[in-house]
Amino acid sequence: MKFYDYPGAPNPRRVKIFAAEKGIELEVVMTDMAKREHKTAEFMRKNPSGKIPVLELDDGTCIGESVAISRYLESVQPEPNLFGLDPVEIAVIEMHHRHIELELLSQIGASWVNGPIVAKMGLIEPIEAAKERGDLMTKSFYKRLDLALGEHPYIAGERYTVADITAICTIDFATRLVGLRPADEHKNIWEWHERVTARPAVTD
Amino acid sequence: MKFYDYPGAPNPRRVKIFAAEKGIELEVVMTDMAKREHKTAEFMRKNPSGKIPVLELDDGTCIGESVAISRYLESVQPEPNLFGLDPVEIAVIEMHHRHIELELLSQIGASWVNGPIVAKMGLIEPIEAAKERGDLMTKSFYKRLDLALGEHPYIAGERYTVADITAICTIDFATRLVGLRPADEHKNIWEWHERVTARPAVTD
């Protein structure tokens, strides 16, 4: 079982934290994105999306997407549960998880793709208006998230789940690389951030 | 159990097909998006995202997101299985499902949000360059999808799954409302389209 990774990238980090919560050790294979190793013909056979992370099983099956890999790990190592246990909990965790992905991560992604670091790489023509919209939508979601985290201690409610892992990687990525750090006044977000980063599994 | 719906919207359609495959009848409540009923304070209490679909359970719990609702239905009515049965199948279906969402639906969404119909509604300033990029990425994904559907009859492999439901709703939305119909030369896509739309559960 090989895990194709690149340090600092937010999506592999999600899986590394998820695996650490379950006590699963991953055999890490470095895929140098700076050298475009994720776009070689050999890598594209493992994942036609040309993205990391990928988990390659011993029989050669490749799972190329962070949540799909996390679900595999949840199936083979159910404890501690991170995706929910009964029909309502499974649905509520999925809802909160997808709200973070579809309404926060996607907007931060738009600001990243159209921002200065990606522009310097020369791979894509930045669209300034798309970055502005991404920034605006991100800040708006932070307000909503801060209110929600005043109501319950974790993203999906009373306990720590996969939705927290995605949120921590999303917000750290936004803070470190996209210039979209949540404002200091969002005290509930920052208290949650401290609560979650105190976990031994939550590393950089 | 109430299902908040709007005819023609692609995300509620995903759930309606999913439920029909399982023989589950949904008590449909019409939410008139043209009248902005999905943005009222009352509706936003059900789903702070201000989006449909929402499934409201008898105890008042609201599940506001199409895949979260589908997972709820899968849990309460496991047959026929649509999300996978063993660890590898669960992961492979999720991977293909998310590739459709993250690399096709998201791009069609960008073309839609920045296209003429939404512009006419006057809710958002269209970004022409973002529409052009969405169009380009959609056409590029169609090529990849056509190749993949030459290798296996369904999106996630040998059998019909939730990934097909998402793909059919995505492609029909693109065709009907976004001007992004797959080209005639993508014969494998069109053969798959015929195969999938022949199912009694796959209605408009």
Closest CB to B63 among A69, A92, A130: A92
Whether residue A165 is contained in a domain is answered as yes
* Neighboring chain A residues of B106 at a CB cutoff of 8 Å: 106
pLDDT at A113: 96
Please identify, among A76, A96, A124, the residue that sits at the C-terminal boundary of a domain.
A76
Based on the fold, state whether residues A128 and A154 are members of the same structural domain: yes
Closest approach of chain B CAs to the CA of A39, in angstroms? 15
Please identify, among A14, A41, A76, the residue that sits at the C-terminal boundary of a domain.
A76
Chain A residues with CB under 8 Å of a chain B CB are 48-49, 57, 61, 63-65, 67-69, 71-72, 75-76, 86-88, 90-92, 94-95, 98-99, 102-103, 106, 125, 127, 129-130, 133, 144, 148
List CB contacts of A185: < 8 A, sequence separation 6 or more: none
Mutation for testing the B interface, residue in A11, A65, A70 having most B CBs under 10 Å: A65
Based on the fold, state whether residues A8 and A63 are members of the same structural domain: yes
Inter-chain CB proximity A95 and B57 less than 8 Å: no
Please identify, among A18, A48, A76, the residue that sits at the C-terminal boundary of a domain.
A76
Burial class (CB in 10 A: 0-12, 13-18, 19+), A57: middle
CATH assignment of the domain containing A97: 1.20.1050.10
**Count of structural domains, chain B:** 2
Based on the fold, state whether residues A57 and A107 are members of the same structural domain: no
Strand-pair category, A54-56 with A2-5? antiparallel
Closest approach of chain A CAs to the CA of B200, in angstroms? 26
pLDDT digits (tens, 9 = 90+) for B22-80: 999 999 999 999 899 999 999 999 999 999 999 999 999 999 999 999 999 999 999 99
Based on the fold, state whether residues B186 and B94 are members of the same structural domain: yes
One digit per residue, the tens of pLDDT, for chain B of length 204 reads: 999 999 999 999 999 999 999 999 999 999 999 899 999 999 999 999 999 999 999 999 999 999 999 999 999 999 999 999 999 999 999 999 999 999 999 999 999 999 999 999 988 999 999 999 999 999 999 999 999 999 999 999 999 999 999 999 999 999 999 999 999 999 999 999 999 999 999 998
Based on the fold, state whether residues B29 and B103 are members of the same structural domain: no
Structural domain span for residue A37: 2-76
Based on the fold, state whether residues A92 and A192 are members of the same structural domain: yes
CB pairs A-B closer than 8 Å: 90
Closest CB to B106 among A48, A103, A106: A106
Measure the CA dihedral A44/A47/A50/A53, to 10°: -130
Mutation for testing the A interface, residue in B46, B55, B65 having most A CBs under 10 Å: B65
Q: Tell me which residues of chain A have a pLDDT lower than 50.
A: none
CATH assignment of the domain containing B55: 3.40.30.10
Based on the fold, state whether residues B43 and B140 are members of the same structural domain: no
Q: Which two tokens stand for residue B49?
A: 């995202």
Quick one: which H or E segment has residue A54? strand A54-56
Give the pTM.
Answer: 0.97
pLDDT at B123: 84
Cis ω before A80 (30° cut-off from 0): yes
Closest CB to A95 among B63, B99, B133: B63
User: Three-state SS for B193?
Assistant: helix
C-alpha pair distances (Å), B40 with each of A42, A74, A187, B2: 51, 38, 27, 18
Do B15 and B53 form a contact (C-beta atoms < 8 A)? yes
Closest approach of chain A CAs to the CA of B90, in angstroms? 7
Inter-chain CB proximity A88 and B57 less than 8 Å: yes
Based on the fold, state whether residues A9 and A103 are members of the same structural domain: no
Inter-chain CB proximity A68 and B57 less than 8 Å: no
Based on the fold, state whether residues A106 and A161 are members of the same structural domain: yes
Based on the fold, state whether residues B178 and B111 are members of the same structural domain: yes
Chain B residues with CB under 8 Å of a chain A CB are 48-49, 57, 61, 63-65, 67-69, 71-72, 75-76, 86-88, 90-92, 94-95, 98-99, 102-103, 106, 125, 127, 129-130, 133, 144, 148
Q: Which residue of A has its CA nearest to B44?
A: A144
Based on the fold, state whether residues B24 and B71 are members of the same structural domain: yes
Closest CB to B129 among A63, A127, A148: A127
Do A162 and A155 form a contact (C-beta atoms < 8 A)? no
Whether residue A82 is contained in a domain is answered as no
Based on the fold, state whether residues B160 and B181 are members of the same structural domain: yes
